Amino acid sequence: MPLDFKMKHEGAPPARMLAAAQIKLKAAGLSKGFAEMLAVRMQDADDIDPDLLQALQAVVDLAVMHGVDEAETLRLLEQAFEQGEPETDEDPETAPAKARMKPGDRLISSVVAHFRGKGPSVTKHKPGYGVLDQSPAAEQNRRIDAMADGLLARMDARHVPTIGRQYAGMSLAEMAGGRDWVSRSRMASHTSSDFPLVLENALGKSIARRLEQAMPALALAAHEIPALDYRGGNLLSLSASGMPEEVGEAGEIKHVTIDERGERKPAPRDYAAMFTLSRKAIVNDDLGMLSQINQQLGAGAIERFRRILLAPLLTGVGLGHVMSDGKTVFHADHGNLAPTGAALSVTSLSNARLALRGQRGSQGEYYAIEPWALVVPPALETSAQMVLAEINAAKTSDVNPFSGTLDLIVEPGLTSEVSWYLIGNPSKVDGLAYSFLDGEKTPRIESKPGWNTLGVEFRLVWALDARFVSYASWFKNPGA
């Protein structure tokens, strides 16, 4: 069946079809401009099935690798669409593999054949599309990225390969290179081989994906502060809260002092773990072992991040670490600790809200912190849901003022089963903060050839830290 992207209904509104095409093409990862250009040419988005969307993405990746801009890629795609599928009377089960290719594979094959015959593009690029770096190092990096993409598809069934489709069927030993299985396994641990770098790339991406999908709940209650080194340093402090004062006629403007006398920022600390992929696992193409390593490293990284975030809360018998004024985070003098513990209720939550909104700075200025979320351990999850639930009140006095106004964060790492917290929005006010060294939000995987062991040695390295940089946006009730 030929690939026909012509309009099914001549009277269909072009704007509606264009919008539908843009949504489908953007879902495939194509740029907005490319989606618009392609939608205009293809006319009808209803003919674009998921296989073709994946094919379109792969074609774009190939175009980028060969330095082809979007306009030329569009022309190549149109040519491939016009060629269509070859008609054949052969039995699909016995027909040659080439004749049984899916539309997406057919499309890719057509464009790949053009690229291979054409060589690197020398076309004039539009602004925003740089000329592809053709240096050996750049070519090696692209090859490593492609192989890692293919390997990731074998490690994680949810990953659909794009630039590495041709490597998705390769075994570990085949990726290592060499003339035979024995030489391939040797190459896998050789310093000149790309194989360790491919594994680094694939494992790093997989762990990053796991972190994105299963971040510790407490991370929602914190915000990030950039850290370029291990020193951390202090936040800036303004005397008199930096509030401008009235200046009379011929009056003098008063100075406010800006210095680093504020709270100490998180100072990243190194965490690491080592593991080895044996020569036997490589030769046997043991993806099961690699997947287990991947899962354990991912789970370990998530748990480490959780404990880093929990430490500022749990230290000091649950009152937090000591701040610049010599007092713990949660302290009566900070106005963020209930004088007596109380179970979660509309009344106790109302008192917490009042305390949070009443927070002031050293010069009496209001912080104007709006309560945003309730942080509880799993033991209080049901109680919190009941307190925050909407009530069909028969009279005004029975209306629940908190229904729909607060988010609920349930953190399993909280050790107390009765304590709970009311917090401000971390995207708007300072509170619990974390830092990654040089912005590395996920662990880095490094490798070297094994010498004491047969195989490739890997290590996971991650530098991060967390602490409170302000106490005013958190209120704690010890519970009852």
Taking a C-beta distance cutoff of 8 angstroms, is the pair 106, 56 a contact? no
Taking a C-beta distance cutoff of 8 angstroms, is the pair 407, 172 a contact? no
Q: SS3 of 407, please?
A: strand
Phi-psi region of 317 (alpha: psi -120 to 50; beta: other; left: phi over 0): left
Q: How confident is the model at residue 71 (pLDDT cuts 50, 70, 90)?
A: low
User: Cα(165)–Cα(168) distance, rounded to whole angstroms?
Assistant: 5
Q: How confident is the model at residue 79 (pLDDT cuts 50, 70, 90)?
A: low
12-40 mean pLDDT: 51
Higher-pLDDT residue of 31, 197: 197
User: Cα(427)–Cα(409) distance, rounded to whole angstroms?
Assistant: 15
User: Cα(121)–Cα(389) distance, rounded to whole angstroms?
Assistant: 61
Residue 35, Cβ density class (10 Å: 0-12 exposed, 13-18 middle, ≥19 buried): buried
- Position 112 scores a pLDDT of 52
User: Residue 266: pLDDT above 80?
Assistant: yes
CB atoms within 10 A of CB 69: 18
User: Cα(292)–Cα(297) distance, rounded to whole angstroms?
Assistant: 8
115-133 mean pLDDT: 44
User: Residue 219: pLDDT above 60?
Assistant: yes
For the four alpha carbons of 44, 47, 50 and 54, in that order, the dihedral sign comes to: negative
- Position 3 scores a pLDDT of 32
44-50 mean pLDDT: 47
- Position 59 scores a pLDDT of 63
Any idea which of 6-15, 88-97, 298-307, 453-462 has the lowest mean pLDDT? 6-15
257-269 mean pLDDT: 80
- Position 51 scores a pLDDT of 55
The pair of structure tokens assigned to 477 is: 């009730």
442-468 mean pLDDT: 88
Looking at mean pLDDT, say which of 13-17, 130-134, 192-196, 301-305 comes out highest. Answer: 301-305
Q: How confident is the model at residue 455 (pLDDT cuts 50, 70, 90)?
A: confident
- Position 466 scores a pLDDT of 97
User: Residue 414: pLDDT above 90?
Assistant: yes
115-122 mean pLDDT: 44
Taking a C-beta distance cutoff of 8 angstroms, is the pair 62, 115 a contact? yes
Of 402, 403, 411, which is closest to residue 352 (Cα–Cα)? 402
Higher-pLDDT residue of 403, 462: 462
The pair of structure tokens assigned to 459 is: 């290590």
- Position 300 scores a pLDDT of 93
User: Cα(258)–Cα(174) distance, rounded to whole angstroms?
Assistant: 60
Higher-pLDDT residue of 91, 152: 152
Any idea which of 39-43, 279-283, 356-360 has the lowest mean pLDDT? 39-43
Q: Residue 445: beta bridge partners?
A: 460
pLDDT per residue as tens digits for the range 128-187:
434 456 677 888 888 888 889 889 888 887 888 888 888 888 888 777 765 444 555 454
CB atoms within 10 A of CB 436: 20
Per-domain boundaries in the chain: 14-121, 317-432+467-477
Which stretches of 215-286 are DSSP H helices?
279-283
Q: How confident is the model at residue 294 (pLDDT cuts 50, 70, 90)?
A: confident
- Position 226 scores a pLDDT of 92
- Position 404 scores a pLDDT of 73
233-246 mean pLDDT: 69
- Longest CA–CA separation in the chain, Å: 97
399-409 mean pLDDT: 81
User: Cα(279)–Cα(285) distance, rounded to whole angstroms?
Assistant: 10
- Identity of the residue numbered 480: A
- Position 257 scores a pLDDT of 63
241-262 mean pLDDT: 73
456-461 mean pLDDT: 89
240-253 mean pLDDT: 76
Of 165, 177, 199, which is closest to residue 276 (Cα–Cα)? 199
CA-based radius of gyration for the chain = 30
- Backbone phi, psi, residue 371, to 5°: -55, 135
- Identity of the residue numbered 260: E
Distances (CA, A) of 460 to 4, 200, 288, 292, 371: 49, 9, 19, 15, 38
User: Residue 398: pLDDT above 70?
Assistant: no
Residue ranges of E strands in 312-382 = 371-376
User: Residue 467: pLDDT above 90?
Assistant: yes
- Position 322 scores a pLDDT of 96
User: Cα(63)–Cα(38) distance, rounded to whole angstroms?
Assistant: 15
CATH class of 317-432+467-477: alpha beta
Residue with tokens 């951390």: 232
Query: What percentage of the chain reaches a pLDDT higher than 90?
Result: 34
Q: SS3 of 133, please?
A: coil
Taking a C-beta distance cutoff of 8 angstroms, is the pair 433, 266 a contact? yes
Q: How confident is the model at residue 442 (pLDDT cuts 50, 70, 90)?
A: very high
Q: What is the mean pLDDT of the chain?
A: 75
Distances (CA, A) of 110 to 79, 147, 162, 390, 410: 9, 22, 16, 59, 52
User: Cα(279)–Cα(210) distance, rounded to whole angstroms?
Assistant: 27
- Position 4 scores a pLDDT of 35
